[in-house]
Amino acid sequence: MPTTIAQKRAEFYRLHRSGCFVMPNPWDVCSAVYLQSLGFKAIASTSAGFAWTVGCEDNTVTRDQVLAYLRKLVAAVDIPVNADFEGSFAHDPEGVAANVTLAVEAGVAGLSIEDYTGDDANPLYAINHAVARIKATRAAIDATGADVLLTARTESMLFGKTELAPIIHRLQLFAEAGAGRLFAPVVRNPEDIRAVVASVSAMPVNIMGAYPELSIQTLASLGLRRISTGGALARSAWNSFMARATELAEKGTITSLAQVMSNAQINKVFSDVKVR
């Protein structure tokens, strides 16, 4: 199992060369360690899941908070960590480049950059500006000399822009600008996924595999190279916590506690895999 930063980065590239792998998204150190203990070969941070741990909405945490989170994940596990680096916490390409350099210094094996502006009324950067941001990211990574894998994301479908052609066009331009991997969250129709994969030739594509109707086997058969879960695992944890807390507040009971793991079972997880 890779242990040094360089080994983790080399392993991350190796994972992308063939086949399809699942890269789940932990929201803190303990969830990261548990995912590693299950045998996953890589993990990715989650902007939403992490934001909720510090009492914030998604897309409202600071750059420095995210960098601290990334450093903790990288230090806690022996597998590659990919950073959900949101929009790089800057609008202009120069600011993007400066912040990406800091993410690389945190030890991540890869990072993703979004084309979301932060303004829901005008959610996507104009294509020329979005491309300039990816070029700046590529140049910043290259300047560090680190083999960090760049994933370019388009958030189009998250904001109701469901026409496939503009999504594919953006991904193709991001690939030309230097992205090594491509990501279109919320694309979930199998024919749309197949079309996206075909449109970018041999460029590996990531899809969020958090939909009950799409198994990992099905997604892999569509030509995907990488599948992540976004904030789904964090939402699941919150769902369980909130349901039990609400029952306690409203009824004075927690009948569902009979179904939860014991202290001993959870302690065993962290005695087998020590958190550094």
Give the span between the Cα atoms of 228 and 222, in whole angstroms: 15
* pLDDT computed for residue 185 by the predictor: 87
What value does the mean pLDDT of the chain take?
93
- Total domain count for the chain? 1
Please report how many Cα atoms fall inside a 13 Å half-sphere around the Cα of residue 40, on the Cβ side. 21
**Domain that residue 32 falls in:** 8-231
- Residue 83 domain flag: yes
- Residue 258 domain flag: no
DSSP strand pairing (81-84 vs 149-153): unpaired
- Residue 219 domain flag: yes
Give the span between the Cα atoms of 98 and 19, in whole angstroms: 34
- Residue 251 domain flag: no
* pLDDT computed for residue 274 by the predictor: 59
Query: What CATH number has the domain bearing residue 208?
Result: 3.20.20.60
- Residue 273 domain flag: no
Check the CA dihedral 160-164-170-175 and report its sign. Answer: positive
* pLDDT computed for residue 124 by the predictor: 96
Please report how many Cα atoms fall inside a 13 Å half-sphere around the Cα of residue 51, on the Cβ side. 17
* pLDDT computed for residue 130 by the predictor: 98
* pLDDT, mean of each 10-residue run, the chain (276 residues): 89 94 97 95 98 96 98 97 98 98 98 96 96 98 98 91 92 96 90 93 83 88 93 95 92 84 86 65
- Residue 275 domain flag: no
- Residue 2 domain flag: no
107-137 burial, b for 16+ CB within 10 Å, e for fewer?
bbbbbbbbbbbeeeeebbbeeeebbbbbbbb
- Residue 248 domain flag: no
- The reply to whether the predicted model has a pTM over 0.85 is yes
* pLDDT computed for residue 186 by the predictor: 83
Contact 204, 190 (CB under 8 A): no
Contact 48, 58 (CB under 8 A): yes
In the numeric block, the tokens 């890269």 are attached to 23
